[in-house]
Amino acid sequence: MTLKLTINGQERELAVPPQTPLLNVLRNDLALNGPKYGCGLGECGACSVLIDGMAARTCVLPVSAAVGHEVTTLDGLSQGGELDPVQQAFIDAQAAQCGYCLNGMIITIRALLNHNTQPSTQQIRTALEHNLCRCGTHVEILQAAERAVVINAAALQEASHE
């Protein structure tokens, strides 16, 4: 069976069983290695992508569920050589230690900002509470998320003046 998917703005046709986890298709068939295999249960967030702008856990999502939707991976967040404001904020805040959780953290914050451009610290914490970081960089991750709010607001303001 051939499935048509839109991933990072590109139409892709894949001959894969519809029940294949989307994570496997992204990593193994499309070589998009932003999403990571973490727990395999949809609990850690390492495998997250955006589907129509909302965070989704791809290790438990069949590829067939992505048909007809826009899938954006960490690899697809940057536009025209410019990092997404969330990506830039995580770099600026040096919010990585091992980096394994960062895909999920960045995707989750981008999804939050897609729906709430001025989240409070508590709203950020709530959004991230189901993303696991084993290295203990939670303080830096929260700083990066708060910085992302500021950078994102500036980018939105600049875009509105163009």
**pTM of the shown model:** 0.94
pLDDT band at 112 (very low <50, low <70, confident <90, very high): very high
pLDDT digits (tens, 9 = 90+) for 117-162: 999 999 999 999 999 888 877 899 999 999 999 999 998 898 888 7
Domain 2-76 has CATH 3.10.20.30: yes
Segment holding 51, helix H or strand E: strand 48-51
**CATH number 3.90.76.10 is the correct assignment for the domain at 85-161:** no
pLDDT in tens, 64-108: 999 999 999 999 999 889 999 999 999 999 988 888 889 999 999
The pLDDT of residue 1 is above 90: no
- Segment 14-46, tens digit of pLDDT: 999 999 999 999 999 999 999 999 999 999 999
Domain positions in the chain are 2-76, 85-161
